[in-house]
Structure 1
């Protein structure tokens, strides 16, 4: 359950925050096609619907696991539904567990359940000393390129942003290196209907959660892998304006043997590739919230 909170929060917070706040003129519904190919789970196809009112963000993701391994394991194409409500005024997150007919509520005050906490115990410190004697973390390489020219994507004039992050850890004993290449390519537009309503809600959400607004921006997918401060890249982040019309994200793992040697060899594996494409955006007087509601008898539990 907690994992689903994190995944859906990451997906939704990837969408833009960086436009000027405006008066909300109505509710809005965004629909996205979401395709993913993961090393363990295989191929997935999803429809992601995100609805906004001044008081709530409602998310519904319906996924079909179309990979051959998953189809062999389940004997058919497995389907899954994830629905989450971010209730700003009530300061609560509600997730509908369709499989167990249960609704789980998480108050904003208890979000430490899903935040990454750094261990500071004596045991953790001792383990860190042993690891540091064998492993060396190389300075990460983070680059962001913003193309000033616009290109029409999905019917919207878009700006192209390319962001790359390289993480590397050296194994001093084996003279080897583990490298993670994280890439996110975005096409964003400030002409998407409902972007002002979206922006207004996410600004309020960031303020309520006490998070850096930039971490809730368009590069949220990539920033999940960045543990350092945002100051070195903040100037680039604030230049990224617009609603993501297309978002491509990938994670590649490389293992290098005999680093710096003529016999050096590289083993590569693509861990994840994702593409999220905006298929529809509608502004309306009132959002039909029934499409995000639980139907039938559901038990409810609140996480403390």
Structure 2
């Protein structure tokens, strides 16, 4: 599943620095309605809660798999809960496994080690030569459009952003092309309560990781697919300010056969469509962290 939580887990693999002192802010809780339709898992409905304190981000997602295939497979609507704590002060990620009644702890130091192993696992030179002889990767096409006017969405004055990324790989042997179309359309507002806390936490996170702040910003869904520099689109990214009130994201795969013929065959498949809508934004003195905590006898396992 491609989602906000998965993106952050990947980025934490790059953690190497100490955490800077936070700016003093009240806590904040965002609640989202989340709908998804995936090629293999079908339709899902979720409530996503994200709480921020100066030292932590707590994420809790409760999902109901409402697709007909999943209901037939399980005999009923399957429910799942995913909870993850990103604890800057303790330098660890804690993921609650509700099914096994365990808490998985991943220290930041282990994330650094995993990143180093990944870097050392480069593709063998001979394999790379074979692949390069057969496949040709086209330059990605990345476009961002920021609407100049605002529109009221969910009770907030919002700016509309449309971002599209096209990835293309050509199979020279089969005269075929594989295309991935990633789209993210969102409405953001600086008037959402807690937007300053949200921006401050992600700014400090970016500084800690040594990343460009835009990569952790509102277009993080799409930018995880973009490995190139942000300079060509930085001017557009700077215009995107505020908290996402509504966020739509999709991944479509296309396979084009017989590209040398006048009438190539195109096969298209929607891999994933997501829609996340802000339903609550509450600035509070102290976040009730018990709503994100494991209840009952949970064992702890530190991942090595």
TM-score by length of 1: 0.90
Aligned residues: 293
Which residue number corresponds to residue 79 of structure 1? 79
| Aligned CA-pair RMSD | 2.3
Which residue number corresponds to residue 27 of structure 1? 27
Preserved CA contact (<8 Å) 2:202 2:217:
no
Cα deviations by residue, 1:204-254 (Å, 9 ceiling, x for unpaired) = 222223332211111111111112222222222122111000000000000
Cα deviations by residue, 1:78-98 (Å, 9 ceiling, x for unpaired) = 000011111111111111110
Distance, in Å, in 2 between the alignment partners of 1:12 and 1:96 is 19
Matches within 5 A, 1:157-172: 157-172=157-172
The answer to whether the aligner puts 1:62 opposite 2:62 as a matched pair is yes
1:258, CA displacement in angstroms?
1.5
Cα distance change on mapping 1:260 and 1:171 into 2, 3 Å: same
Which residue number corresponds to residue 262 of structure 2? 262
Preserved CA contact (<8 Å) 1:51 1:58:
yes
Q: 3-state SS of the aligned residue for 2:138?
A: strand
Preserved CA contact (<8 Å) 2:140 2:168:
yes
1:108, CA displacement in angstroms?
1.8
Preserved CA contact (<8 Å) 2:7 2:221:
no
1:301, CA displacement in angstroms?
1.3
Which residue number corresponds to residue 90 of structure 2? 90
1:9, CA displacement in angstroms?
2.6
Which residue number corresponds to residue 40 of structure 1? 40
Worse-matched range after superposition: 176-185 or 251-260:
251-260
Cα distance change on mapping 1:38 and 1:300 into 2, 3 Å: same
Larger RCO of the pair (alpha carbons < 8 Å, separation 6+): 1
Which residue number corresponds to residue 215 of structure 1? 215
Gaps of 5+ in 1: 14-21
The answer to whether the aligner puts 1:238 opposite 2:255 as a matched pair is no
The answer to whether the aligner puts 1:7 opposite 2:44 as a matched pair is no
Distance, in Å, in 2 between the alignment partners of 1:158 and 1:106 is 37
Gaps of 5+ in 2: 13-21
1:190, CA displacement in angstroms?
0.3
Distance, in Å, in 2 between the alignment partners of 1:49 and 1:180 is 30
1:272, CA displacement in angstroms?
0.3
Cα distance change on mapping 1:200 and 1:89 into 2, 3 Å: same
Q: 3-state SS of the aligned residue for 2:226?
A: coil
Distance, in Å, in 2 between the alignment partners of 1:289 and 1:60 is 11
Q: 3-state SS of the aligned residue for 2:139?
A: strand
Cα deviations by residue, 1:105-150 (Å, 9 ceiling, x for unpaired) = 11122224776945654x6221111011111111111000000110
Distance, in Å, in 2 between the alignment partners of 1:114 and 1:155 is 43
Preserved CA contact (<8 Å) 2:63 2:81:
yes
The 4+ residue runs of structure 1 with deviation greater than 3 A are 3-6, 10-13, 22-25, 112-121
Preserved CA contact (<8 Å) 2:7 2:224:
no
Preserved CA contact (<8 Å) 2:187 2:247:
yes
Which residue number corresponds to residue 183 of structure 2? 183
TM-score by length of 2: 0.90
Worse-matched range after superposition: 221-230 or 244-253:
221-230
Preserved CA contact (<8 Å) 2:31 2:281:
yes
Worse-matched range after superposition: 220-229 or 162-171:
220-229
Matches within 5 A, 1:125-164: 125-164=125-164
Which residue number corresponds to residue 15 of structure 2? none
Preserved CA contact (<8 Å) 1:36 1:272:
yes
Q: 3-state SS of the aligned residue for 1:249?
A: strand
